[in-house]
Structure 1
Amino acid sequence: MTLAQDAPARTPARKPDPHHASHRASLIVQGKDRTGIVAAVGAVLSSHGANIVSLDQYSDNPQGGAFFQRTVFSLDNLKAALPAIESELKARLAEEFDLRFTLRDMSVPKRVAIFASKSDHCLLDLLWRQRQGQLPIKVSMVISNHPDTAEEVRGFGIPFFHVPSTGPDKSAAEAEHLRLLRGNVDFIVLARYMQILSGDFIAQVGVPIINIHHSFLPAFIGAGPYAKAKERGVKLVGATAHYVTEDLDEGPIIEQDVVRVTHAENAADLQRRGADVERAVLSRAVEWHSQDRVIRDGNHTIVFA
């Protein structure tokens, strides 16, 4: 096992990010629908002088179906008030309504580790968007099984770790991944990371993992998918961002998109168009996840985009 870290001399200045409101928090509520949930949330927040900035909710059946709600509220003394708000929400929502909820200070960006291989289009797009203040995240590190992107990542002021992963036994590489990640990240993004994560790693890492991959109608698996798509006369090229589970590429979908292509475009054209869609879809998925807009429910998602 070899490990290379590029320690940046400085971190590039970031532009002000409107998503990082210093006095805003997000509240995610889910569980069985029943009368009074919205009123209870409003009562707790108003009792602490909070102002609701936005509220989105969805119920798949108002007669006892599944209920989901995302509320963003502002409060001048937010950090000091959050423990009391959380305690009162627990009493009202968890104990009275048997609901699950999460409460988060939105001024603290979520920490993310990006996994990449040789393809850099998704990786560099995320790093650029973070530097421009377009994504409310903090990229804690980039981990790659190839050293190819080390210099470019270093230019963004992000630590780069080269962890080779070869052969059928990935246990040594995954052990090193866990050592680097534990306690340092809130979620992981696979930005065209061309390695399969084991179920043991997914269980141990303990944070959500977002993946991006191409989407074709029909699907083409294995090497050279764009060449196969050209041979078949594909008319749509797309991408899917989803959460990672033990079932390969079958986790809950966060975002998808497609572009129309024609017979005049060759395999390289299709790959370029596909890369454009992958960048857009992955960046939206990362943004929505980092803003607590995605609620997982079994193998599907509710996305308040």
Structure 2
Amino acid sequence: MTSRLKTGVKNILAGMVASLPWGVRQRIFEELLERHAIPHDMRYDALVRLAAACNVEDLAVRGESGLIRGSARDVSILKQYALRHVWAGRTIGFCERFFAGSGGTYIDVGANIGLTVIPIGKLPGVRCIGIEAEPRNFGYLEENVAQSGIADRAVLRHLAVFSRPTTIDLEIATSNLGDHRIRVGAEKVALQGEDRRNTVTVAARPLDDIIGEIDPAYACLDGRLAVKIDVQGAEPFVFEGGRRVLGGAGLVIVEYSPYCMARMQADPEKILGLLQAHFTSVQLGQQEEDAPTPPMPAAEACAYLRRFSDDNAKNPNAYLDIIAVR
């Protein structure tokens, strides 16, 4: 069927539905919902479109981490929380096992709206530090943490994390609100239209400086420390400015996107060199719901990641999660 014919059929059907009495249209809609004729994910997409049409800015979704508020435009993180009732289940599971019976400190670089800070902050004896650059996400993060019952154990900072103190432009994604990306002025390619995004300027500081301000004695390094880093290709800059903190962590979970790193000319060796120097075991994972690889020596994993970088520098859809244990 040609696109013109498809459009014509859609217009005819739309006209037929529009001509029906309001009560009939309402009953058809209710029947579609009750009979599950509309798949769950399509219902959420329809909700997002209705929210935009009705000038609804925020949605609150209930799941395993409680009631979480986010943007009505978010068809990624908040949508997955609505459909699965959990976000980043694999990351949360690793942290649950890491902190079991001991407690410690969890640092979330790229905390978004709090869907890992909150469940991990509810673990016995765990203190959280959440860092988020995008202003609207940070507002949701503050609100969600405040109503979650962990506010007395969580410190939040509205900052980008970089290799040096500066200000930085953040490219704002319009629908996947976990995909905001820093712009460092050296971008080589923009295969996903990132160069056309609106930007907002935010303060940026090194991770070691941020943690040193919160914890001047770096006491977090004396206990069990886990760090999650998901900043859409800026991870090498986080490692460059966070050698003290990351070198003392017992668990590091970091997203590894060759395309995003290559675009901003961020050097993957900043990540791989620290992993080889300070960690013994590494697992690699793809989608959060997928099981990771068995543990492998850090040197072996880093050799694989170097090849992965070379092969996927121009593939926006290729990324891995690195789970490194001291």
| TM-score, L = length of structure 2 | 0.32
| TM-score, L = length of structure 1 | 0.34
The structure carrying a bigger strand percent of its residues is 1
The structure, 1 or 2, with the larger RCO (C-alpha pairs under 8 Å, 6+ apart) is 1
